[in-house]
Structures are given as C-alpha cells and as structure tokens.
Structure 1
Amino acid sequence: MPTHVVTVFLRNGTDVLLLRRSDDVGSYPGQWGAVAGHAEGDPDTQARVEITEETGLDDAASLVRRGDSFEVRDPEHGTWVVHPYLFDCATREVDPNWETATYEWVPATGIRERETVPELWASYDAVRPRVETVAGDDEHGSAYLSLRALDVLRDEAALATDDGGWPAVADTARRLREAKAGMAVVRNRVNRVMATAGRTADSVEAIAREVADEAVDADARAASEAAAELDGLGADAVFTLSCSGTVAAALRDADPERVLVAESRPGAEGVGVAEAFAEDFDVTLTTDANVPAVVAEADAVLVGADAVFPDGRVVNKVGTRAAALAARDADVPIFVVCASDKITPEPLPVEDGNPESLYDGDAPLDVRNPVFEVVPGRLVDGVVTEHGRLDSGDVARAAEEHRSWADWE
C-alpha cells in the first residue's frame, strides 16, 4: 500500500525554503527537503498543517499551484505518492520544529546541488513556473511577473545545462519577452540576463540568479524611496489603484493613517488590495467612477507602472490617467513608483481587455475595454525608483542602457 505525502515549497522572492532533516526523523535523516509530511486525509489540508508545524508560516503563505501527484519507489521505504505544492511566502522568519536541523532559502536550482530526499527536484518541477504560467497570469503586477520570468529562465537554463543547450535557453528568453510584451520590466530583466551572460546555459543560470537578487533589492529600495516622498509630504491619506507590490511595500513603510483604493476594473484587483490593506490601515474602497471625489480627499496619489518612457509618459492600469487628472484638479501630488528596470526606450503594446466582458449584446457597437493606458508625463509629479526621484536625464540614460541589453541576439 503506497504512503501519501505532501511536499510543499515555500517561495520568497525567487528563493525557496529547504530544510535539512534532523537525525530524529524516521526517514532520510540529514538530507535536504521541502516542508513535508504524511497525508492521511485531504492533501490540501495537510499541506497547510505541515507549513504551520514545520515553519510557523501558515499565515504568511498563499497557495500558488498544486502539482500532479506522482509515485516514488524506494527499496527501503516502499512507495510514496507525492502531492507537490508551491506557496508564496511573505517572510523568511522560520520557526522550525524538531524535524529540522537547519534551513536555508536558496534558488530552486540549488536543489540539484544538494543531497536531497528522493525526487525533490521532480516535486519542484511539478509546480515551478513556466512561460505559459507567466503569460496567463493576469492577477499579479509586472514586478512580480518579472521575478517569475527570471525563475523560468534560471530553471530552464539549469535543465539545458545537461545538454549544453544555448539555443533552447535563447528560445525561452524570446518566449518570455513575448509572454508579457507590454511589461517593460519583464523584457528588460530577461534581456539583461542574456546580454550579461556568456553564450552558455550554465552562465545564463548563474546570471539569472544574480539579476533576480538585484531585482528583489531594487523593488524594495524603490518602495523605501517612495515612502520617504510620502513622509516628506506628511501624507496621512494616500490614494492608489490596481495591484502593485512596490506600492504596497511603500505604503507599509510610510504607514499613512488612511488608504483610498479604487476597484480597478477590468479585473477589479483593487478589491483584493483593499482587503489586504484592511489589517494595517483605515481603508476606503470605491468605484472607478468615484475616483475624482476620493482623490480630492487624499494628500498624495501613489501608483505603480508597467513602463516609463524617456519623455516621461507612463503606462499603467487603466484609470491612472483619470486619477492623475483628478489629482491635478485638486492640487494633490501624484508619484509613480517602480524599479528603474521598468524604463523602456521603445513603445510597447498597450493591452486591451476582452470586449465581451463589457458588452456581449447584439447591437453594432465599437466596444473598448482597455486594461492599460498611457499617462502623459506632464500629469506626473515624479517617477521614483531605487535611485530616488528621477529627472528627465536620468530616465534617458536608463533607457539607453536598456536599449543596449536588447542587442544580445
């Protein structure tokens, strides 16, 4: 009779949590594994139980993906049926139990460099991001998706190393750029890896790790710089829209008394953002149509960006231009916060939504249901990155550097 087990990977940034099993456990002592345990009942429930028992991080973990179960045959321990899971985790503060001798947060490809429990890489392979998951993700912001793109590039390069497959890695890079063609940071970070690495798969894997670490740091520092701008204004009430992880981090750093959030259709991801903020702030959630009224109640507007052009134009979720116009009318400053990797030298496609989600009737209508839009630079008081508030010269220089990365082919 096979034994069912869960194997749960916790991911923070672009690293996953590995636990070295203590000498007191009944199987595979001293070997590295993920959060794991017997699944005598529902594997979904047991995955959460094991996260709580082995790390104390259940409240900080959100499910990303369940993988297909598979069998592992071990001559000593019999047959395991493995149920793999991937969770994003908001912190690295682990509280391990007796089953763990030590733990580390490492790039997932580090699994292949350690003595692990059987088929640990196969468990990760069942839940790791792919080009298709990046392309199909309409819930997360571009900074998050750029990290997932770097995960994909790193992982595929590690696998291609087995065959020396530079052409396969280059093809993955091209497909990642196309997966989110309108997101400058995805394009720029993938191009940066390919332009910096030598023309070998193992070099791409190593540089992808470095760029990922620097990307996480850049996003965090951009949030800190934006928080400093809000603090300098003494902003007690801040308006935002859509779903930007950098904006969320900046607001938590600045700690205003009140946050006003638009619903952000299509997608209405602002509702989830408002719910997430509710534990930390006095939150007002409003309709997109009511944005001018709530912007007038704010001391500042803080939004993210999917792209920043050399002339100061910004691409962001539809509704940003209306918020910027309302801010100008009410004399409320508006700041865009993003990593400098979102600066792009070239026009990018602006994504349209499904027109049928707005109107599916029979009348001969021209239906426009945009997801993103371009905001003129004259409506923005400042673009804030990890380097602080940028002037036009700073933006132009960054754009030129990013143009050079695209020459790797």
Structure 2
Amino acid sequence: MTHVVTAFLRHGGRVLLTRRSDRVGTYRGRWAGVSGYVESDPDDAECDARRELEEEVGVTDATLVRAGRPMTIIDEGREWTVHPFLFDVADRAVEPNQELADVEWVHAPVICERGTVPELWPTYRRVAPTLETVQTDDTHGSAWVSIRALEVLRDAAADAESRAVLVSVARALRDARPSMTAVGTRINRVMAESGRSPDALRRRAEAEIDSAVVADETAAATAATLVRDRGFDRVATLSRSGTVVAALEDARPSVLVAESRPGLEGVTVAESLAKKGFKITLTTDAALPGLVADGAVDAVLVGADTVLSSGDVVNKVGSYPVALAAARAGVPYVAVCARDKIRDDDEFVGEDGGSLYDGEASVTTANPRFEVVPAAFVTGVVTEDGVLDADAVSEVAAEHAELEAWDDDDAGATDR
C-alpha cells in the first residue's frame, strides 16, 4: 500500500488548491492540496508534509493545526493511504515548483466543483474545523474563533440538503462561546441575510468570512495608526488577540506582555514578536498591573471578546486590574476589535476555566476565563470604523439586535 500526504494550507478562511502539472506521474491536470509520497515512517508523516510544502510551494513556516486520521482510497486499481494535514500560514505568498501548473486560494467547498484527485473533499473534512474547535479553543482570540465558526457553517452548507439541517448547526455555533460576541454576530448575519437554499447560505458564509477578515485587518491598521500618531512607544498587552498582535506588528513599539494564565498564550505572543525583532518584556499576570501603575508603558492595548452596549469591555481575566492600574497612572487603556464584537445588551455570560483544586477538602473554586472592564476605565474602542464613542456603540448594538430575528423566522425548522 502506498502512503501519501495531502497538506492543506489555510489563510484568512481560504485554503490553497494546486493543479498538478504534466510533469507528475499521476492525476495530471487535477486539483489537489499540497501532496506527495511518504518517504519515512508513516507514523511521522508530518515530516513528509512539511517537506512537500517546502518543495512544492516554498513554505517553511506553516503552523500545524490538525493531523487527520489516515484514509484509504482505492482508485483505478490503485490503493492509497492518505495522511491529511491542515496548516495555517501568515500570508498567501507561495512559490510553486514545476510539479504545479496553477495554484489558487479558495473557499474549501470549491473543492466540490473542481476536477480533483480522488476523495479530496472527504480528505479535507478530516482536518476541517468543527463545532468542537469553536467550543474548546482556549488559545486564540474571538476574531480567530469566529472565522472558524463561519467555516464550520460554510462547510456544513456544502454537504446539506436543506436549510433545516443548517439551522441546528447555526444555533449550536452561535451559542458555543457566549463570551465571544463576534461568533454569534457573524453567524446571525449569515442566517439573516442568506436565502433558503444551502447553496445560498454557503455563498453568504463565504462572503462573511472574507468581510470578517478585512474588518479585523482594518481594525488592526486603525489601532496601529493610533499608536504611531500618539507616540505610544511602550505598549502593554495581555492574552492573544490576533487583531492586537497585527496592530503591534504594524506600529512596532516595544511591548510588555503578560503571560496570560492558564493557557500562557501571552508567552506565544512574546516569542513571536521577539523573533521579528521587537523589544519584548514578558511578565506575570500578577506583576503587570504594578508595572503599568509605575509608568512602565505609554498605553495598554487589549483585545475585546465583547463590547457591551454600555461600552463595558469583556476580555481575558486579568484585564480589569490592568485597567485600574492604567487609570491610576493616567495611561490610556484602549480596546481593539471589529465592530461585530459589540453586543446588543449589557448581560455578561462568563466561561469557567476549569477547577483549580482536586483535593478532598470542601473547596469551592472560581476560575473565570473572562471579566468585565467598566466603560469608565476604557479610553476608547478602536474598530474598522475608527474610535467609537458611547453613542456609536449603542447604534451598532441595535443593528446587531436586528440580526437575531432569523431564529424566530426559523422556529421549528429542525422539525420540518
């Protein structure tokens, strides 16, 4: 049996498809992922996947997202064991070699419309994001998680025969992360603005993914401009907001980063920025407020998992004490996010980070993942539309409330 790898590269909600050239031995002219033979131990096929990424498209810094279960494919008398992989990349720059006639970044369901190598769509589905991806991720910010939720809905629409099936999927995704408003807002928009057919819903989900990526990028660029224009040369942050990281990479201040327990995603941020030449200081969550209060930074830049209609900001636990310290020191405390994170009410639904104690004594634990920073301590909320004041936040919240009507319109859809 021949073992092969198929690696899917992902950026901004799209994946890379490659069209095999006349120089390859099999499936000439067919579309595929980045593929090749397993030359080492099949149990360590990731090494072969990374080799193929470098040889075929010149990618050496991809981040592994998921390795799928191998699948057996029988085609025209040949039997293949395919090892699927999904990688994220920081940009879409690729350098195809002579084995590829063409490359294209597409939404994954396009696979179903192309002449591909055998079983490419089932191969992709083995590494595609799932409801569990959305429910359990405790490393990435809500912008990243919301795009994964849209991918799940998009991919489900490619397989569905009716909207009724997708209503159940959409409800589960919308409710998966109550503290991450962008997830619900973006799912609601797709459901409210799509037609009745699964194909129409799929197309609307694809458009929403593309617009969400642009919104997040624009919010980051707006924040970077603010940092430069106001001369914030020393910035503190915590957790792992992709939007904030993009803003920092653009503005290039020195950065004070909290480790962000328990996931330590702040360590990942510090390491990533340091490798790009930034002056980085990594500190503990407990020490960050004191450093801010002592004047170690010119501004605090944080993400937002939710902005309530009151202007209060929900973010990773540890944000509130830093806001208090910033206020004491007269340091601006700025939240950066896409406007889709603005919620249409003032109710905060938290998420528990798990038990802190497994002993035999009767100990009640409180380990929240998120907390509320009152609007009085937030200097501004920076979005793709600029810095929003309280009235603008209220207007956006009202817009988002209207998107929720789809659920009433589809009431009972899962029973039809």
Asked if these proteins are the same fold (TM beyond 0.5), I'd say yes
- Cα contact 1:131–1:149 (8 A) shared by 2: yes
CA distance in 2: counterparts of 1:212 and 1:348, whole angstroms: 26
The number of aligned residues is 400
CA distance in 1: counterparts of 2:365 and 2:33, whole angstroms: 48
TM-score normalised by L of structure 2: 0.94
From 383, 387, 390, give the equivalent of 2:388: 390
Matches within 5 A, 1:82-161: 82-160=82-160
- Cα contact 1:266–1:369 (8 A) shared by 2: no
From 241, 245, 250, give the equivalent of 2:238: 241
CA distance in 2: counterparts of 1:349 and 1:355, whole angstroms: 18
Q: Deviation of residue 140 (structure 1)?
A: 1.2
What letter is aligned with 1:83?
H
CA distance in 1: counterparts of 2:194 and 2:133, whole angstroms: 25
CA deviations 1:108-150 (Å, max 9, x no partner) are 0010111111111111011111112211211111100100000
- Cα contact 1:17–1:105 (8 A) shared by 2: yes
CA deviations 1:174-214 (Å, max 9, x no partner) are 01012112210000000000000012211110100011100
- Cα contact 2:179–2:370 (8 A) shared by 1: no
CA deviations 1:319-350 (Å, max 9, x no partner) are 10111111111111111000000000122411
CA distance in 1: counterparts of 2:177 and 2:112, whole angstroms: 29
TM-score normalised by L of structure 1: 0.96
From 188, 191, 197, give the equivalent of 2:188: 191
In structure 1, what is the equivalent of residue 173 of structure 2? 176
Q: Deviation of residue 105 (structure 1)?
A: 0.2
In structure 2, what is the equivalent of residue 44 of structure 1? 46
In structure 2, what is the equivalent of residue 406 of structure 1? 404
In structure 2, what is the equivalent of residue 352 of structure 1? 352
CA deviations 1:50-75 (Å, max 9, x no partner) are 1111111121x100111111111121
In structure 2, what is the equivalent of residue 64 of structure 1? 65
What letter is aligned with 1:360?
D
- Cα contact 1:260–1:294 (8 A) shared by 2: no
In structure 1, what is the equivalent of residue 304 of structure 2? 305
From 272, 290, 301, give the equivalent of 1:276: 272
CA distance in 2: counterparts of 1:149 and 1:313, whole angstroms: 25
In structure 2, what is the equivalent of residue 320 of structure 1? 319
% identical equivalent positions: 53
Matches within 5 A, 1:283-302: 283-295=280-292, 296-302=295-301
- Cα contact 1:239–1:294 (8 A) shared by 2: no
- Cα contact 1:299–1:333 (8 A) shared by 2: yes
- Cα contact 1:304–1:338 (8 A) shared by 2: yes
CA deviations 1:256-300 (Å, max 9, x no partner) are 1x1100111232221111111111311111011111233221111
What letter is aligned with 2:132?
E
What letter is aligned with 1:47?
A
Q: Deviation of residue 310 (structure 1)?
A: 1.4
CA distance in 2: counterparts of 1:354 and 1:215, whole angstroms: 30
Matches within 5 A, 1:18-57: 18-41=17-40, 42-57=44-59
In structure 2, what is the equivalent of residue 215 of structure 1? 212
In structure 2, what is the equivalent of residue 366 of structure 1? 364
CA distance in 2: counterparts of 1:127 and 1:365, whole angstroms: 40
**Structure 1: gaps of 5 or more residues:** none
Q: Deviation of residue 362 (structure 1)?
A: 3.8
Quick check: 1:253 aligned with 2:250? yes
In structure 2, what is the equivalent of residue 11 of structure 1? 10
Q: CA RMSD in A?
A: 1.1
CA deviations 1:225-271 (Å, max 9, x no partner) are 00011011111111000010000000011111x11001112322211
CA deviations 1:18-51 (Å, max 9, x no partner) are 0111111111111111000000213111011011
CA distance in 2: counterparts of 1:27 and 1:363, whole angstroms: 64
Task: Give the SS at the match of 2:212.
Answer: helix
From 186, 200, 203, give the equivalent of 1:203: 200
CA distance in 1: counterparts of 2:207 and 2:125, whole angstroms: 21
**Structure 2: gaps of 5 or more residues:** 408-416
CA distance in 2: counterparts of 1:365 and 1:32, whole angstroms: 57
Q: Deviation of residue 353 (structure 1)?
A: 1.7
What letter is aligned with 1:320?
S
What letter is aligned with 2:215?
A
CA distance in 2: counterparts of 1:37 and 1:211, whole angstroms: 33
CA distance in 1: counterparts of 2:97 and 2:247, whole angstroms: 33
What letter is aligned with 1:403?
A
